[in-house]
Amino acid sequence: MTSLDRASVSTLKGVGPALAEKLQRLGITTLADILFHLPLRYEDRTRVTPIGRARPGTSVVVEGDVIDCRVDYGGRRSLVAHLRDDTGLMVLRFYHFSAAQQRNLQQAGRIRCFGEVRPGKTGFEIYHPEYTKAGAGLDDALTPIYPATDGLTQARMRSLVAQVLELMDKGGLLPELLPADAGAPEPGINDAVRLVHRPPPDVDIVAMETGTHPAQRRLAFEELLAHQISMRLVREEISLLSSHPLAPPGAIVGNFIGNLGFSLTQAQQKVSEEIAHDMAQSVPMLRLLQGDVGAGKTVVAAIAALQAVENGLQAAIMAPTEILAEQHFVNFSNWLAPLGITATFLSGKVKGKKRNEQLALIESGTAAIVIGTHALFQKDVNFRALGLVIIDEQHRFGVHQRLALREKGEQAGRFPHQLVMTATPIPRTLTMSLYADMDCSIIDQLPPGRSPVITSVVADTRREQVIERVRAACGSGAQAYWVCTLIEESDVMQSQAAETTAAQLAESLPGLRIALVHGRMTPAAKTDIMNRFKQGQVDLLVATTVIEVGVDVPNASLMIIENPERLGLAQLHQLRGRIGRGERQSYCVLLYHGPLGAAGKARLNVIRESNDGFLIAEEDLRIRGPGEVYGSRQSGSVTYRIADLARDTDLIRDAGETALALLARDRGAA
């Protein structure tokens, strides 16, 4: 029996070349990969839950009598029925319904419903439940629901899993890679995968749904450990490479700092020294620079870039979007002009003759500092001597892009130093484990003279008052952002919502110059609007979360964030960081849609009470209980499939220690 991690998915029934390719795009090539494609959640249709015991956020079967059914005209029109059993009352709500369905429900009597429970105005509700007559048959196991993907149905995924589990029953196994004393939670890997795909009826359902069952923890541990080990190995590999040892900062850097018009904060000085020290070594630097929005990372980046230039080398600065790249280019050009140093810009937008000119400057080395988007590492870009690569806001770049950029800079066996900047603070407790492949510097101090943004939390029933506030602020010469958020991941929906909001605001605020920026616009159109906002030609900018990162408009001092309850705290903090950059006192209004649960309130209060990104990150981790951990699978350059950074904090620490121990043991054996 071959081991499941070697056998290809194409050995399964029904997997032809087309499906194999689809699976490959999901990162699934072996039978083991299928097992590690875990259910996102479970549906429990094995038993009927008393209505009084249904909890929001879970899917349940409930059974009861329909006691009334009528159309609710409050807000968005919907059909509302009440279902009653001995323990309580459940609201069934339908936004799409027919007259026939209404009649049918009115006379339905006792029914059985299945769906997700959510909090409503008067109690718990189920939107669009599936329903049948009471007393229908129940399932005999929890039903796993797999992550939805294009062209791969639940039924197909279940059939693939079933085939692999059958092979396991016949003796096919995943290799147990961990020594018994590695500190991994029980059960073993094979029992764990079996259980998560086929939870027995008596399983602890709450644990399964919150991802805290021992089998799930075992798999999360394995994943965390694998990342830890590979990060540490990458790091070891890097330490074997050579780089350009740079002489310490000299006259050019001195002039630059002297011309800034402000002095560096202590924190900026400290991290600049850390960077200079790294770059003096003959192995490539790989350093992460964390600093809250507005902490002054760009100045630190410029100092590092100039140090490379002083050593006769080039520096490349890569930003995740056109807007940010252009903003950096403008800043750097202003800084560099008095020093007689040329900055060059390269992005997807630069084409034809202009592009060829830029490429020639880069190749000859005349372009000392090159700023751009990922276009910087296309095939035809050749640096003469690249000494330093700076990557801004790295959470938008994947590890692979980072590696590609390093390869690109390799010359005669020397690799450029690398500085990665992020404004997404990681809780200090996690930094070491999450960024085991990098050294970390933190700018933990804002430049002086900034007054923190004053934040208020306001229900959207007071929307009119908030609109008045925008009128008043813009009337007195300030500029404002109005940020629209939507639960849907879809760009189209977000953009449409923003368009609608912009139109409504234009109606309410006829005197203001209002513009709209959203993700569906071309980069050129976005840049154009941002530039007009920057130059003060626009009073109110209605935006989707595309303005999240890095854009600097000091005169903008008011930000309204609609439906802040839908965003993570880190993201809210990032958004708010767009204001509070100028002389004026800045205000942020979190315009939430009620009712908010206790945790929801607590979260918004954290943002109201703190302007410290690190503290906010810690609090986010603390408050978000299991079940509210959406979005926390991704952090920095790592995306986890199984582990969840908010939920599995203890496992992260354990995996870090185990990784070190295993690597040390390996080396001892070698």
Binding interface with Mg ion (CB under 5 A)? 550
Q: How far is the CB of 592 from ligand ADP (least distance, A)?
A: 26
Nearer to Mg ion, 387 or 550 (CB): 550
322 binds, among ligand ADP, Mg ion, none (CB under 5 to 8 A by kind): none
The distance of closest approach from Cβ of residue 345 to Mg ion in the complex, given in angstroms and rounded to an integer, is: 17
d(CA 302, CA 300): 5
Residue among 416 and 577 whose Cβ is closer to ligand ADP: 577
Q: Which backbone phi and psi does 578 adopt, to 5 degrees? A: -70, -25
CB of 128 to ligand ADP, least distance (A): 44
Nearest Cα to Cα of residue 72 among 42, 100, 93, 51: 93
Q: Which does 58 bind (CB under 5 to 8 A by kind): Mg ion, ligand ADP, none?
A: none
Please provide the size of the chain in residues. 670
d(C-alpha 85, C-alpha 51), whole Å: 7
Which of 172/294 has CB closer to ligand ADP? Answer: 294
C-beta nearest to ligand ADP: residue: 296
Distance of CA 619 to the CA centre of its chain: 17
Q: Which does 265 bind (CB under 5 to 8 A by kind): ligand ADP, Mg ion, none?
A: ligand ADP
- The binder of 627, among ligand ADP, Mg ion, none, by C-beta within 5 to 8 A per type, is none
Q: Which is nearer to ligand ADP, 471 or 573 (CB)?
A: 573
Residue with the shortest CB distance to Mg ion? 550
CB of 409 to ligand ADP, least distance (A): 23
- DSSP assignment letter at 257: H
Which of these, 162, 192, 144, lies nearest to 41 by C-alpha position?
A: 144
Helices 189-197 and 154-169: crossing angle in degrees, nearest 10, is 140
Closest CB 386 distance from Mg ion, rounded Å = 22
SS3 per-residue string spanning 155-212: HHHHHHHHHHHHHHHCCCCCCCCCCCCCCCCCCCHHHHHHHHHCCCCCCCHHHHHHCC
Minimum separation from the CB atom of position 319 to Mg ion (A): 9
CA within 13 Å, CB half, 469: 19
Nearer to Mg ion, 550 or 564 (CB): 550
Q: Give the whole-angstrom CA distance, residue 370 versus residue 278.
A: 21
Distance of closest approach, residue 362 Cβ to ligand ADP, in angstroms: 24
- Minimum CB distance to ligand ADP, residue 383 (Å): 24
Binding site for ligand ADP (CB under 6 A): 262, 264-265, 268, 291, 293-299, 423, 447, 552
Q: How far is the CB of 529 from ligand ADP (least distance, A)?
A: 20
Q: Which does 31 bind (CB under 5 to 8 A by kind): Mg ion, ligand ADP, none?
A: none
Q: Which does 600 bind (CB under 5 to 8 A by kind): ligand ADP, Mg ion, none?
A: none
Residue 292 CB, shortest distance to ligand ADP, in Å, is: 7
Quote the least distance from Cβ 348 to Mg ion, whole Å.
21
State how far the Cα of 570 lies from the Cα of 423, in Å rounded to an integer. 10
Cα(230)–Cα(211) distance, integer angstroms: 24
* Choice between 320 and 564, CB closer to Mg ion: 320
Q: Which residues of 575-606 are buried (b: 16+ CB within 10 A; e: fewer)?
A: bbbbbbbbebebbbbbbbeeebeeebeebbeb
- Contact (CB, 8 A) for 217 and 192: no
Q: Closer to ligand ADP at the Cβ: 268 or 611? A: 268
User: Residues 153, 157, 160, 161: what is their CA dihedral angle, to the nearest 10 degrees?
Assistant: -160
What is the Cα–Cα distance from 174 to 161, expressed in whole angstroms?
Answer: 14
- Separation CA 146–CA 42 (nearest Å): 9
- Closest CB to Mg ion among residues 309, 551: 551
Write the CA distances from 352 to 348, 362, 364, integer angstroms. 11, 16, 19
Nearer Cβ to Mg ion, position 301 or 607?
Answer: 301
Using the minimum distance from each CB to Mg ion, give the nearer residue, 550 or 613.
550
| Residue 613 interacting entry, from Mg ion, ligand ADP, none, C-beta within 5 to 8 Å by type | none
Return the bridge partners of 424, or none. none
Select 131 or 533, whichever has its Cβ closest to Mg ion.
533
Contact between 17 and 8 (Cβ < 8 Å): no
- Residue 291 binds which entry of ligand ADP, Mg ion, none, CB below 5-8 Å type-dependent: ligand ADP
Q: How far apart are CA 651 and CA 216, in angstroms?
A: 11
Question: Looking only at Cα atoms, what is the longest distance across the chain?
Answer: 87
Q: At what angle do helices 598-609 and 613-623 cross, to 10 degrees?
A: 170
**Taking the mean position of all CA atoms in its chain, how far away is CA 416?**
28
Nearer to ligand ADP, 299 or 547 (CB): 299
Q: Residue 654: CB partners within 8 Å, gap ≥ 6? A: 183, 221
Beta carbons of 22 and 10 less than 8 angstroms apart: no
Nearer to ligand ADP, 95 or 262 (CB): 262
CA 49, CA 61: separation in Å to the nearest integer? 6
Q: Which is nearer to ligand ADP, 290 or 347 (CB)?
A: 290
Residue 422 beta carbon to ligand ADP: minimum distance, rounded to whole angstroms: 10
Concatenating the DSSP letter of every residue in 464-507 gives HHHHHHHHHHHHTT-EEEEE---SS--HHHHHHHHHHHHHHHHH
Question: Taking CB within 5 to 8 Å according to partner kind, which of Mg ion, ligand ADP, none is near residue 296?
Answer: ligand ADP
Q: Closest approach of Cβ 297 to Mg ion, in Å?
A: 5
In angstroms, give the least distance from the CB of 298 to ligand ADP.
3
Q: 541 CB contacts (<8 Å, ≥6 apart)? A: 479, 480, 481, 482, 514, 515, 516, 517, 529, 533, 547, 556
